[in-house]
Amino acid sequence: MIYRQYGKTNKNISVLGLGGMRFGNDEDYAVEVIRKANDLGINYFDTAPFYCSDRSEDIFGKAFKNMTGEFYVSTKSGIFNEPTADDVRRRIEKSLKRLGVNKIDFYHMWCIMDLRQYEKVMEQGGPYEGAVKAKEEGLIDHLVFSTHCSGNDIRKIVEDNSFEGVLLGYNVVNHPYRQEGIKAALENNIGVSVMNPLGGGLIPNSPEYFNFLKETEDETVCQSALRFILAEPGVTTALIGASSIKELEENIGVLNYPLVVSEAKRKEIKSNINESMDKLCTTCGYCLKCPKKIKINRYLEAYNMSIFKDHKEMEKYLEFLKTQGALKDEEVFAKDCIECGKCEELCTQKIPIIKRLKEISCLNPAH
């Protein structure tokens, strides 16, 4: 394993961290995956309330009980559920209990979507105040933030100097639009952890499309995508969301290659990425509060295909989702959208969901 210092903290963390968002239903196996990660040198574990139907913190708590290696834990609270300082305090106490630790090493002001939300986090009596107080009392070690803002907005938050690190969604697909945030973090010497380094399931699910990432024949597309992130100056760690030991080992395999990307390859990657790719759905599911219960993430996953290739490919993908049971004939369809706008407010990629659903139903009247 390779370790990097996290900003100005004295903590050296593994260049691959384990994210706790994608564990399966078998909790004992998830515990095994976490312990295996630690055996392989991973010492940074990132979780949050509500991940994995609110089981993730408990799963980590079980794994930590008998874990022999050194480790750091990161968790979060968000403005939607914890809008006041007191709410944050209660959430921290709950997380400490569930994780079975005395102190949270990295505590995130979670999922800041834009500067307006950032201001709310920082308001008097708001979440930031609660977290600072908890830090003074020794309940948390480092106060950091997670965000889906643009690179320029991330720079503004970083330059306010209120946080010791940032967790941001960064991958080969959206890198031109977030890079400024990483540069700002580097200039200000704060830690950077990267979520979604594989674009959610986007890169592993479309290996043929992303084949251009590879620099050697024997590395996998996922390894190339991780190498690309870890070669970025300023990045401390990339969070992998392994749900199996096999996946974990494949991802750790990236460390068999030098963590660099040649200039020629960078140019090639840039030429394969266009602006619309910043608006690819990562299937994260944050938008799934639809009053009509439309499977937005599935429809938008199919729409990704029309960005990669064309509408025909999208149609094929819709059929494929049906064969997988992910979309069913009797369910609500894209055309049932009542344009309430709720999903767009929640979308981490700021995708024009309503417009896309309309386009899907126009092209495919069955949907």
Out of 101, 343, 360, 367, the only residue in the binding site for ligand SF4 (CB under 6 A) is: 343
Q: How far is the CB of 351 from ligand SF4 (least distance, A)?
A: 5
Residue 352 makes contact with ligand SF4 by CB under 6 A: no
- Using the contact rule CB under 6 A, the part of the chain among 7-15, 71-79, 144-152, 346-354 near ligand SF4 is 346-354
Helix 151-159 with 175-187: angle, nearest 10 deg: 20
> Judging by beta carbons within 10 Å of its beta carbon (0-12, 13-18, 19+), is residue 74 exposed, middle or buried?
buried
Q: Are strands 44-46 and 72-78 parallel, antiparallel or unpaired?
A: parallel
Out of 244, 278, 286, 322, the only residue in the binding site for ligand SF4 (CB under 6 A) is: 286
Residue 360 makes contact with ligand SF4 by CB under 6 A: no
- Using the contact rule CB under 6 A, the part of the chain among 89-97, 239-247, 314-322, 337-345 near ligand SF4 is 337-345
Residue 114 makes contact with ligand SF4 by CB under 6 A: no
Q: What are phi and psi of 164, to 5 degrees?
A: -95, -5
Q: How far is the CB of 346 from ligand SF4 (least distance, A)?
A: 6
Residue 154 makes contact with ligand SF4 by CB under 6 A: no
Q: How far is the CB of 130 from ligand SF4 (least distance, A)?
A: 27
91 or 356: whose CB is closer to ligand SF4?
356
Give the separation between CA 201 and CA 190, rounded to whole angstroms.
28
182 or 294: whose CB is closer to ligand SF4?
294
Residue 190 makes contact with ligand SF4 by CB under 6 A: no
Residue 86 makes contact with ligand SF4 by CB under 6 A: no
185 or 300: whose CB is closer to ligand SF4?
300
Out of 96, 144, 351, 360, the only residue in the binding site for ligand SF4 (CB under 6 A) is: 351
184 or 351: whose CB is closer to ligand SF4?
351
Helix (H, G, I), strand (E, B) or coil at 117: helix
Residue 147 makes contact with ligand SF4 by CB under 6 A: no
Q: How far is the CB of 354 from ligand SF4 (least distance, A)?
A: 5
Q: Which of residues 12-71 bind ligand SF4 (CB under 6 A)?
A: none
121 or 287: whose CB is closer to ligand SF4?
287
- Which residue, 301, 299, 311, is CA-closest to 281? 301
Q: How far is the CB of 345 from ligand SF4 (least distance, A)?
A: 9
CA 131-59-297 angle, to 5 degrees, is: 80
Q: How far is CA 346 from CA 117, 123, 196, 216, 234, in A?
A: 12, 21, 17, 39, 28
101 or 353: whose CB is closer to ligand SF4?
353
- Residue carrying the six token digits 């976490």: 34
Q: Which of residues 290-319 bind ligand SF4 (CB under 6 A)?
A: 290-292, 294, 296-297, 300
- Using the contact rule CB under 6 A, the part of the chain among 60-68, 123-131, 265-273, 279-287 near ligand SF4 is 279-287
Out of 93, 114, 310, 339, the only residue in the binding site for ligand SF4 (CB under 6 A) is: 339
Per CB under 6 A, residues contacting ligand SF4 are: 281-287, 290-292, 294, 296-297, 300, 337-343, 346-349, 351, 353-354, 357
